[in-house]
Structure 1
Amino acid sequence: MLTLIQGADLYAPTAQGKMDVLLAGSKIIDIQPEIKLTSNTAVKIIDAHKQILAPGFVDSLVHITGGGGEAGFASRTPEMNLTDATLNGITTVIGALGTDSSSRTLSNLIAKAKGLKEHGLNVFCHTGSYHLPAKTLTGCITDDLMYIEEFIGVGEVAISDHRSSQPTAQQLAQLAAQAKVAGMLSGKKGTVSIHVGPQPTHLGLLHQVAQTSDISLATFYPTHMNRSKALLDAGITFCQGGGHIDFTASTTEYDLAHGEYSAAQALAYCLAQGVDPTLLTISSDGHASLPIFDEQLNLVGLEVGKEAALHQAFVQAVYEFDVPMEHALMAITANPARVLGLNKGLIKIDSDADLVLLDKQTLMPVHVWSNGLHMVEHGLPIVKGLFE
């Protein structure tokens, strides 16, 4: 069956005006101001005159198998459900391990990814975790990226954090070199996702790698860059040196009260400082454990990241911080896709039919398609995980 979306305000993610978009199978096959079909082939028509059509959101950091709890075994966070993504407009997720790479394993990560893919979601993963030397599935980073379809990079490797393995510049350079070569051999980007903690060293280790090796700042993808204004300013310098940075949408009231910027506020701040909008992204950190540490690094609380935070950050950026719609959408569609080397996050002829129709007033997802599969209709899930 064909699907014709009529009269939507199209953001591809740049504004294209009123457009009709025709889907066939998993692809977009036509985009025109008006599409008239004369065939008697069955067509599903969606009236989108009061809606915005955008690329399906690309969430570049999700703990799809849950995160290790910093408060013991009972605090291990649960796995992500399919509708945690789709109901919030997310059609592509990148799964990763974090602090816990013992009770959370790469084999479980890949199995979870394959299960979500069977239901129609786009899922990719990083090999490795917070710590070096990196844990792998095959025995080395190169083979993981070359022979396991879902692996596209390495991470999230922790720096500037008391929970990291305290890596040296040489260790990080060797890791990045392996990821880069593996990416070249497999046709992938080989991005190295970097968890940046709250310590005042900020991104110094990444600059040291770039200064002492052939690895450029663009190889790294630092996240949690909205922890503080000081880290944000370090991120602006990083962008000026050729890098790109990511803001985390999931947060806690405690952290916001102690200097953390919301992802929307961080995006607006960087844009106001003249940062190229193509260098800025937002991710949810969904289903991660969100530990709250006091100044002595004692654990005083623990919360769980939510995929819904990605959509909430997008809405907040537009309505509370006056970020242009195009720039807010770029941060959760085309930008992360480009950083990770994915053919996602754009609406164009022959691209994958990963789409979200948003209510023009509330920006709530009304319809969602992933690879042409209608996942959400009129705000309700029509495809669910097997045990939802």
Structure 2
Amino acid sequence: MLLIKNINIYSPTSLGKKDILICYDKILYISEDIKIPENFPDCKTIDGSNFTALPGIVDLHVHIAGAGGEGGFSSRTPEMTLSNLTLNGITTCVGLLGTDGSTRSMGNLLAKANSLDEEGITTYIWTGSYQIPTRTLTSSARGDIIFVDKIIGIGEIAISDHRGSHPSDYDLIHLASEARVGGLISGKCGITHIHIGDGRSMIDPLKHLVESSEIPLYNILPTHINRNSKLFKECIDYCKLGGYVDITTGIRPNGDDVVDPTTSYRALLDEGCNIENITMSSDSGGSMPIFNESGKLEDLTIGLPSTNLEVFRDLVRDGMSIDKAIIPLTSNPSKLLKLLDKGHIKEGFSADIMLLDKDYNLHTLISRGKIMVENYKAVVKGKFEA
């Protein structure tokens, strides 16, 4: 058992200063003054008076098993370690493949998700990769969603990108239908998670999918919408019509046409988009290639999980309220993905809690009731971490 005393709680809405009692992996009780009786079983107590409690981050786009390869075999990015994630507040993540669905496999991705789950965080995965026909574990993407517990949808399917397979309008509609039906049968979100590249068609394939099918908008989630200003403007219009969009926190301006994620979020809200339709994710572990106009690779970096908290801090320091700044990283993705006990600090919910100091740096992380980070250091590490 774990008791956090006198802490300022955002659930993500503000609850004021209260105590939080955790039993095993659940939040048992939230009250203004919880007292532990004498002769009670051991209960660790944390003085939370100098901290703010927020839900653990739900990152729906993480290359946990590595990615990349656009610069040759040596450019394949490594697997994510447990502390890569926990030191950056991530208690739930959804893993995925990317450009490389050949040297990376769904079996490898599922094994890595199970490994991280055993080590202490909650994991799910998307089935597939950039390409269509998409990579699967069973005979179909629908079957993957129905029969494999950790698979919640299909992704990331690439559109408007020279690294994708340029799916036809029919292919995209068929795949989204497979995801939706798989979700309906299994009780999962059944989302088709769509990677948008720099191509000239931008979101045209997405528009056709929406206009030419009966797939509900909540079953479709495009990501990387802030990769350039023209694409972002189209995605604002899409979101204003009720679409769901995902901002990539790892896409940051570097003298180019990228739209900063903090600017993206503010612009979506200023344009009247529904705040519940906006999520953020890191794209951590994925390669961040830079191609010139002729398609030649000029540089390649790796996405970092630290960008989620960096964007949150930037928003708060620029005057946004804490609850509004944290929603796209916690309650919004948990609701959209149908992770019913995640994304909130509530009684009966999973005990996934960040304790941030006055500068909004992560001091302590609790995942499923277990302290993973304490005093800014990982106290639980993956099996092969130093």
TM range (shorter): over 0.9
Aligned residue identity for 1:327:
K
Asked if 1:109 is matched to 2:106, the reply is no
Cα distance in 1 for residues equivalent to 2:34 and 2:200: 56
| 2:172 alignment counterpart | 172
CA displacement at 1:381 relative to structure 2: 0.9
C-alpha RMSD over aligned residues: 1.2
Cα distance in 1 for residues equivalent to 2:237 and 2:330: 23
| 2:261 alignment counterpart | 263
Query: Which string of whole-angstrom CA distances, capped at 9 and with x for unpartnered residues, describes residues 37-60 of structure 1?
Result: 224222111111111101000111
| 2:9 alignment counterpart | 10
Aligned residue identity for 2:268:
C
Aligned residue identity for 2:28:
I
CA contact under 8 A between 1:217 and 1:241: conserved in structure 2?
no
Query: Which string of whole-angstrom CA distances, capped at 9 and with x for unpartnered residues, describes residues 162-197 of structure 1?
Result: 111111121111101111111111110111111011
CA displacement at 1:249 relative to structure 2: 1.4
CA contact under 8 A between 1:256 and 1:262: conserved in structure 2?
no
Aligned residue identity for 2:217:
L
Query: Which string of whole-angstrom CA distances, capped at 9 and with x for unpartnered residues, describes residues 211-232 of structure 1?
Result: 1111133211111111122222
How high is the sequence identity, in percent, across the aligned residues? 39
What TM-score comes out, normalization by structure 1 length? 0.96
- Determine helix, strand or coil for the equivalent of 1:290: strand
| 1:220 alignment counterpart | 220
CA displacement at 1:115 relative to structure 2: 0.6
Equivalence map 1:65-84=2 (5 Å): 65-84=65-84
Cα distance in 2 for residues equivalent to 1:112 and 1:331: 25
Equivalence map 1:288-307=2 (5 Å): 288-307=286-305
CA contact under 8 A between 2:240 and 2:272: conserved in structure 1?
no
| 1:370 alignment counterpart | 367
CA contact under 8 A between 2:239 and 2:273: conserved in structure 1?
yes
Cα distance in 1 for residues equivalent to 2:355 and 2:201: 42
Cα distance in 2 for residues equivalent to 1:194 and 1:328: 24
Query: Which string of whole-angstrom CA distances, capped at 9 and with x for unpartnered residues, describes residues 96-146 of structure 1?
Result: 000000001100000001111111110100001111111101121122111
CA contact under 8 A between 1:154 and 1:193: conserved in structure 2?
yes
| 1:22 alignment counterpart | 21
- Determine helix, strand or coil for the equivalent of 1:115: helix
| 1:279 alignment counterpart | 277
- Determine helix, strand or coil for the equivalent of 2:135: coil
Aligned residue identity for 1:110:
L
Cα distance in 2 for residues equivalent to 1:133 and 1:233: 30
CA displacement at 1:234 relative to structure 2: 1.4
Cα distance in 2 for residues equivalent to 1:251 and 1:228: 10
Structure 1: gaps of 5 or more residues: none
- Determine helix, strand or coil for the equivalent of 2:359: coil
CA contact under 8 A between 1:92 and 1:121: conserved in structure 2?
yes
Aligned residue identity for 2:333:
P
After the TM superposition, which parts of structure 1 deviate over 3 Å for at least 4 consecutive aligned residues? none
Aligned residue identity for 1:213:
S
CA displacement at 1:289 relative to structure 2: 0.6
CA contact under 8 A between 1:207 and 1:217: conserved in structure 2?
no
| 2:206 alignment counterpart | 206
CA contact under 8 A between 1:267 and 1:317: conserved in structure 2?
no
What TM-score comes out, normalization by structure 2 length? 0.97
Cα distance in 1 for residues equivalent to 2:232 and 2:281: 16
Aligned residue identity for 1:173:
I
Q: 1:217 to 1:169 in 2, by over 3 A?
A: farther
Cα distance in 2 for residues equivalent to 1:206 and 1:274: 21
Query: Which string of whole-angstrom CA distances, capped at 9 and with x for unpartnered residues, describes residues 288-309 of structure 1?
Result: 0100011222211000111111
Equivalence map 1:1-388=2 (5 Å): 2-41=1-40, 42-251=42-251, 256-320=254-318, 322-343=319-340, 344-359=342-357, 361-388=358-385
- Determine helix, strand or coil for the equivalent of 1:243: coil
Aligned residue identity for 1:161:
D
